[in-house]
Amino acid sequence: MPTLSSRSRRRWTRFTILVAAVVIAVVIIDRVGQVEWPAVWDALSQLTWWQPLILLTMVAARQLFKASPLHFYIENVSLGRATQNDLGAILMATIAPAPADYAIRVTMFTSWGLSAARGLAGATMNTVTVMVVRFALPLVGFIMLVMIGGDFSYRWADLFSLLISAAIAACVLVVLHSDALARAFGTHAGRIVGRIRRGVDPERWAQSCTDFRGHISARVRYGLPRSLAGVIAMVLADLAIVVFCLRFVGVSPAEVGILDIAIAYIFAFPLTILPFSGIAIVDSLIIAALVQSGGHAVEAPAIAALVIWRVYTLGVPALAGLVAIGLWRRTTRRTTTDAALAGHEPESP
């Protein structure tokens, strides 16, 4: 259990990263050009009543895809419950420091009759799958740059992202290969971390890796390909939301094509690992790439589009998480009450 001081440090770390993100965003946008804020507002005012309904539908699909690995990795967890669990975790990650999101995940799983260990293993594999896709995505960006003859000069740093994806995938494959390799990996990793952080027990890390393999290995062959497909579908849905937001505020295909939008999004996407999905940094990088493709005229509507994108992909899931946790608590209380009443039914004469 984290101490008050450790929780306090985590909050300050999140706050510092957020402030740094805003500063970096301001610097990037300032280099792109002077923002005409009245033009941003004019672009936002172009939304008509039916367009938010389309975006809400797309966000709903995005969240179903995002939660699908939990359904595939954890037996007897429906897609509905997986989505409810994921939305609850999103809310907790928004309002509280880690590991509050994992705590609510495991609590939900246990209330549904699953063991905490199985639920935690599935949630961990869910995170790993997202990380592998997140850091591998620039490979698609490089392929697209080849297709359109784009500029590679400032993209080579993204190769580091591909190395991270490969390293994560390799570590998971080692752990899942056998108990012996899982234990050896956990011991070695624990010793490395122990050199940086005091109090780390390599034997405990070894046991955790072995337990993780025991709880997830039976579902990996079934769950991994389906989960990868689900996460890729989530990324495509998210990209589609960005495209629709840009079109809704007046950025035409003649100004910025879909391939240009996709390239801008894909190369910025690995930075969504930062708190609040890399808000400000990711947005400013996408805006800079769009301005490079479509000229200064698209800057104001692009900012407006990304504001809408963030409202729908950060704000809406967090609000839905509040509803998800409320429904879960209500259902859990009702189930507990019914069980208690069933246990005290009077005997038949």
pLDDT band at 281, cuts 50/70/90?
confident
Q: What does the pLDDT look like over 198-209, one tens digit per residue?
A: 777 889 888 989
The mean pLDDT of 41-64, rounded to a whole number, is 91
On the question of pLDDT at 157 being above 60, the answer is: yes
Dihedral angle over CA of 135, 136, 139, 141, nearest 10: -50
- Running DSSP on this structure, what letter comes out for residue 313? I
When computed from its CA atoms, the radius of gyration of the chain, rounded to whole angstroms, is 23
The mean pLDDT of 145-169, rounded to a whole number, is 87
The mean pLDDT of 158-165, rounded to a whole number, is 93
Structure tokens at 145: 């740059």
On the question of pLDDT at 40 being above 90, the answer is: no
pLDDT at residue number 99: 82
How far apart (Å, rounded) are the C-alpha atoms in residues 121 and 116?
Answer: 9
On the question of pLDDT at 272 being above 70, the answer is: yes
pLDDT band at 4, cuts 50/70/90?
very low
How far apart (Å, rounded) are the C-alpha atoms in residues 191 and 227?
Answer: 31
What whole-number percentage of the chain has pLDDT above 70? 85
pTM of the model: 0.86
Report yes or no: 144 and 262 within 8 Å, Cβ to Cβ.
yes
The mean pLDDT of 14-35, rounded to a whole number, is 56
pLDDT band at 195, cuts 50/70/90?
confident
pLDDT at residue number 349: 39
The torsion angles phi and psi of 235, rounded to 5 degrees, stand at -65, -45
Of 312 and 15, which is predicted with more confidence? 312
pLDDT at residue number 2: 45
pLDDT at residue number 346: 46
The mean pLDDT of 3-28, rounded to a whole number, is 56
Q: What does the pLDDT look like over 74-125, one tens digit per residue?
A: 999 999 999 999 999 999 998 887 788 999 999 999 999 999 999 999 999 9
pLDDT at residue number 45: 82
Instruction: Give the lowest-confidence range in 19-28, 58-67, 198-207, 285-294.
Output: 19-28
Mean pLDDT of the chain: 86
- Of 330, 74, 93, the C-alpha closest to 219 is 74
Of 30 and 160, which is predicted with more confidence? 160
pLDDT at residue number 77: 94
How far apart (Å, rounded) are the C-alpha atoms in residues 288 and 283?
Answer: 9
pLDDT at residue number 3: 45
Q: What does the pLDDT look like over 228-261, one tens digit per residue?
A: 999 999 999 999 999 999 999 999 999 999 999 9
How far apart (Å, rounded) are the C-alpha atoms in residues 219 and 215?
Answer: 8
On the question of pLDDT at 180 being above 70, the answer is: yes
Angle at alpha carbon of residue 263, lines to 260 and 269, rounded to 5°: 140
pLDDT at residue number 82: 97
The per-residue DSSP string of 51-110 comes to HHHHHHHHHHHHHHHHHHHHHHHSTT--HHHHHHHHHHHHHHHHHS-TTHHHHHHHHHHH
pLDDT band at 136, cuts 50/70/90?
very high
- Peptide bond preceding 99: is omega within 30 degrees of 0, i.e. cis? yes
